[in-house]
């Protein structure tokens, strides 16, 4: 196997890197690891975090062949980027690709949650570079485009501003992210600015395969496909979802049943969820939030060794449990709540 362009002799564990599978991220020229590192948990987004543990996780992940990291200003309102900046100190810049986002910022008040204007976009990229302590970002993405007042502002302000930022050398490529896959596709088709990557989350999981039907369209446009949140933002994990999770009670209840079953069998549900998404054709990388060496080790084990027989048995049973779900998504739930909150301000 040819070593990836991110390989740095003396820094990487060559044997581990050779085990990792790398895919072309669309036509960016970047070869990314099949498993990538989400840094949302380098903040209070999913509960507590420990900076030293985050540092160890980043070092270990990169040394063992993961070469793609994703963050956003929204995660902890800048905390994730700040912490990641500290974690990357002393690591060769060549050893990783990094993606961050623009457009989504504060938790509250509602009128400060999102801002897709040209001015804010420009300012946000500068702030991200400063927090991350970097000269350039590999992929700059528009965060959760479905929350924009309309797609027009994304098409006429956000994306053209990112185009200028790429020309200035502050970012290499442009991406879009969001929950409704139909909205991502609509934006990609309408954009006059070249979009290089698409990040879809929670839509290629053990209970929701919506992304599958869009993969041929994305491939036809030569887009890099980043598939995030295999564990459905905690629904398919032993810890369970955070309080803010938008899923309806029925979805939560069925996932709780799957969680209880896995606990009883001594199997990590999150590991089964990551395995499922890794098996699917189409995504170039599966982006998993990890803020501890323990969970990193679980997930690298899935990539390198698959599941044990005990885990395979549990996996089949969990798929059966999840198939009871009548409603498998929460499209529009958050957007409607946001629009309502805006009106009520």
Tokens of 41: 């948990």
Catalytic residue (choose from 46, 74, 75, 179): 75
The rounded distance, in Å, linking the Cα atoms of 120 and 95 is 30
Whether the CA torsion 296, 209, 142, 136 is positive or negative: it is: positive
Q: Exposure pattern of 193-212 as b/e (b: 16+ CB <10 Å)? A: bebbbbbbbbbbbbbbebbe
Question: What pLDDT does 48 receive?
Answer: 83
The 10s digit of each residue's pLDDT in 225-266 is 999 999 999 999 999 999 999 999 999 999 999 999 999 999
Question: What pLDDT does 216 receive?
Answer: 99
CB distance 271 to 299 below 8 Å:
yes
For the question of residue 75 being annotated catalytic, the response is: yes
For the chain, which ranges sit under pLDDT 70?
Answer: none
The structure's pTM equals: 0.97
Nearest residue to 242 via CA among 44, 21, 82: 44
Question: What pLDDT does 211 receive?
Answer: 99
The rounded distance, in Å, linking the Cα atoms of 162 and 142 is 9
**Ordered domains of the chain (ranges, CATH):** 14-242+268-307 (3.20.20.100)
The 10s digit of each residue's pLDDT in 297-323 is 999 999 999 999 999 999 999 999 999
For residue 31, count other CB atoms closer than 10 A to its CB: 18
């Amino acid at each position: 196997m040819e070593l990836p362009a991110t390989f740095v002799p003396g820094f990487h564990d060559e044997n581990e890197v050779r085990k990792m599978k790398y895919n072309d991220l669309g036509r960016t020229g970047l070869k990314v690891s099949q498993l990538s590192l989400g840094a949302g948990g380098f903040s209070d987004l999913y509960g507590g975090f420990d900076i030293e543990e985050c540092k160890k996780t980043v070092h270990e992940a990169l040394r063992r062949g993961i070469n793609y990291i994703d963050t956003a200003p929204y995660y902890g309102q800048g905390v994730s980027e700040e912490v990641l900046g500290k974690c990357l100190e002393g690591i060769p810049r060549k050893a990783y690709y990094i993606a961050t986002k623009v457009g989504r910022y504060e938790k509250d008040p509602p009128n400060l949650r999102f801002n897709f204007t040209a001015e804010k976009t420009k300012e946000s990229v500068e702030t991200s570079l400063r927090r991350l302590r970097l000269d350039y970002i590999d992929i700059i993405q528009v965060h959760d485009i479905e929350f924009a007042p309309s797609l027009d502002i994304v098409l006429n302000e956000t994306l053209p501003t990112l185009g200028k930022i790429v020309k200035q050398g502050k970012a290499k490529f442009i991406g879009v992210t969001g929950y409704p896959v139909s909205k991502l596709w609509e934006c990609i088709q309408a954009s006059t600015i070249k979009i290089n990557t698409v990040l879809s989350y929670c839509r290629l999981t053990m209970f929701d395969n919506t992304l599958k039907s869009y993969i041929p369209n994305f491939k036809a446009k030569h887009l890099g496909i980043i598939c995030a949140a295999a564990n459905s933002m905690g629904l398919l994990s032993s810890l369970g979802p955070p309080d803010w999770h938008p899923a309806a009670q029925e979805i939560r209840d069925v996932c709780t049943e799957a969680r209880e079953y896995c606990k009883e069998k001594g199997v990590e549900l999150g590991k089964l969820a990551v395995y499922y998404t890794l098996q699917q054709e189409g995504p170039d990388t599966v982006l998993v939030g990890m803020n501890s060496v323990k969970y990193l080790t679980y997930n690298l084990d899935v990539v390198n060794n698959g599941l044990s027989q005990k885990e395979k048995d549990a996996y089949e049973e969990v798929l059966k449990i999840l198939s009871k779900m009548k409603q498998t998504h929460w499209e529009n739930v958050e957007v409607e709540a946001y629009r309502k909150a805006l009106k009520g301000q």
